Amino acid sequence: MAARTPLYDRHVAAGARMVEFGGYDMPLQYSSIRDEHLAVRNRAGLFDLSHMGEVRIHGRDALEAVQRLIANDASRLDVGAALYGVMCNERGGIVDDVVVYRDPGGYLVVVNAACRFKDVAWMREQAGGATLDDLSDSLALLAVQGPLAREIVQPLTAVALDAVPHFHFVDGSVAGVHCAVSRTGYTGEDGVELYIDAEGAGSVWDAILEAGRTRGLLPCGLGARDTLRLEAGLRLYGQDMDEDVDPYSCGLGWTVKIAKGDFIGRESLSGIDPKNPPRRFIGMRIADRVIARHGNAVLADGRVVGDVTSGTFSFTLGYGIATASVVPDVNKEQPMFIEVRGAEVPADVTPLPFYKRPSAVGAR
Amino acid sequence: MADLSTYRFARSHEWLRRDNGAAMVGITDHAQSQLGDVIFVELPAVGTQLEAGAKFGVIESVKAASDLYAPASGTVAEVNERLTDSPELVNSDPYGEGWMLRLQDVGDAGSELVDEAEYQRLIAG
């Protein structure tokens, strides 16, 4: 049986459609994916992300362990800052994509739910003298995302949310419950993510729903989370990357810091020219209301040049969008197509992200 | 809740409502609910002859694409053009504004179609 988050009963009571994801019974949608998606773009949405895994790395050699595990450089992380990165295997394939937080006592590595047990085993194997604690079952994670997210949460906390820079966090309390307040997200909008002890999660959830009611905040499920993250050009592990995909080939070369010194996969990744990786990760725009799906073939010049990694309908833009992994020698000027249900649908290469929030320019 | 006493239901989750030799066709509330947000409905050209049980189109939601099957034979007299720009009508009003086809020369579907009570039993089972 799938595991449940501390908010499971609330989701069921709210009439959410539940689906199994990453070993958890999670809400797919409460009302409709479209309504929830647009609430986050225009107002605010509240997500239960308690299925995500959290692994604490502390003690002697904690930094060394983190540096060995991820390809990004954690040595430049100040206390209170966070970093996106990938863990690679020796072949340079991606074991998982993670967010690493540094606090005074060590590091918290947030991993994908479906990868949790694999990751924890891998991390223990590689941790050397550092201590690892899998906190996934005792920590809940809520995200409040959208242009109104901060003003909805602000009355519930003494933390000055405006003073927390993007990809930073502070210790505090929300609705009287102790939590880490992080200025992060996976939607392309501004917002906060709250790491809370599992037993306190319900009252924080209730307080945020209540505070957001008059401002049009909606509880949002994994359906909207997926359409939002894809519009924002953010990768999904298992679809856009896996253990056979190197970070350069899925557009995550910017998270690889060869110069930082040794890490798992460095030797393999050093052999790749960052400007000429084996595959290219591209965004594609599809005319009309067609949805390309993971695995659909990408065609150019009458041949298959790659495959769709993620695809959906963009509720914000009003057309189909997809990311694809293609061979390097594709002439992007020539017409390209995606094979959808037996038909070749025209698709134009377009820069990622598909959507950038209007105020993002110059924002912290 | 719509009065569904005049509706008949296919096991493939389409409905048919007869009206003086013609018939309206759509998908059930259960079907739209399972599909979730409908993005696109591909419908046949007016004049297309359909056999009972034949594929007449495709409905695409964020979640999945599914084939649509004719609940009875007939000739497509009209398709719901509003679904081109507002496919979400299938979600909001599957038995009304979210209709898909108007058929003429509707044939006998025999015992293939069931009434609402029986359909509810089918989807509950």
Residue A320 and residue A64: Cα distance in Å, rounded? Answer: 43
Q: For A241-310, give the DSSP string.
A: B-TT--GGGGT-GGG--GGG---TTHHHHHTS-TTS-SSEEEEEEESSS----TTPEEEETTEEEEEEEE
For A60-94, what is each residue's pLDDT tens digit? 999 999 999 999 999 999 999 999 999 999 999 99
Q: Rounded to an integer, what distance in angstroms lies between the CA atom of residue B83 and that of residue B74? A: 21
Which residue is it, tokens 């967010």?
A99
Which fold is adopted by the domain A53-126? Alpha-Beta Plaits (3.30.70)
What are the tens digits of pLDDT across the range A195-204? 999 999 999 9
Residues in B touching A288 (Cβ below 8 Å): 40
Domain B7-124 sits in CATH at 2.40.50.100
| The pLDDT of residue A14 is above 50 | yes
User: Looking at this predicted complex, what is its ipTM?
Assistant: 0.85
Q: What is the pLDDT of residue A358?
A: 87
pLDDT at A332: 77
| pLDDT at position A224 over 80 | yes
CATH superfamily of A8-52+137-231: Probable tRNA modification gtpase trme; domain 1 (3.30.1360.120)
| Residue A362: predicted pLDDT | 44
Ranges of H-type helices in chain B: 29-35, 82-85, 89-92, 116-124
Q: What does the block give as tokens for A159?
A: 């933390």
In B, minimum Cα distance to A224 occurs at: B62
Of all residues in chain A, the percent with pLDDT exceeding 90 is 94
The full set of domain ranges for chain B reads: 7-124
A206's CB contacts (< 8 A; 6+ apart) are: A10, A175
The phi and psi torsions of A249 (rounded to 5 degrees) equal -75, -10
Q: Hey, is the C-beta of A33 within 8 angstroms of any chain B C-beta? A: yes
Burial class for B107, CB neighbours closer than 10 Å (0-12, 13-18, 19+) = middle
Greatest Cα pair distance in chain A = 61
Q: How many CB pairs under 8 A join A and B?
A: 35
Model pLDDT for residues A268-303, shown as the tens digit of each residue: 999 999 999 999 999 999 987 889 999 999 999 889
Question: Does A19 contact B at CB distance below 8 Å?
Answer: no
Q: Which of A157-166, A331-340, B9-18 shows the lowest per-residue confidence on average (mean pLDDT)?
A: A331-340
**What does the alpha-carbon distance between residue A209 and residue A94 come to, in Å, rounded to a whole number?**
36
Q: How far apart are CA A214 and CA A218, in angstroms?
A: 10
Q: Domain spans of chain A?
A: 8-52+137-231, 53-126
CB contacts of B62 in chain A (<8 Å) are: 33, 223, 227, 291, 312-313
Per-residue exposure over B61-99, b if at least 16 CB sit within 10 Å of its own CB, e if not: bbbebbebbbbbbbbbbebbeebeeebbbbbeebbeebb
Q: For B112-124, what is each residue's pLDDT tens digit?
A: 899 999 999 999 9
Instruction: Give residue-wise pLDDT tens across range B37-96.
Output: 999 999 999 999 999 999 999 999 999 999 999 999 999 999 999 999 999 999 999 999
Cross-chain Cβ contact A313/B87 below 8 Å: no
Nearest to A350 by CA among A323, A328, A310: A323
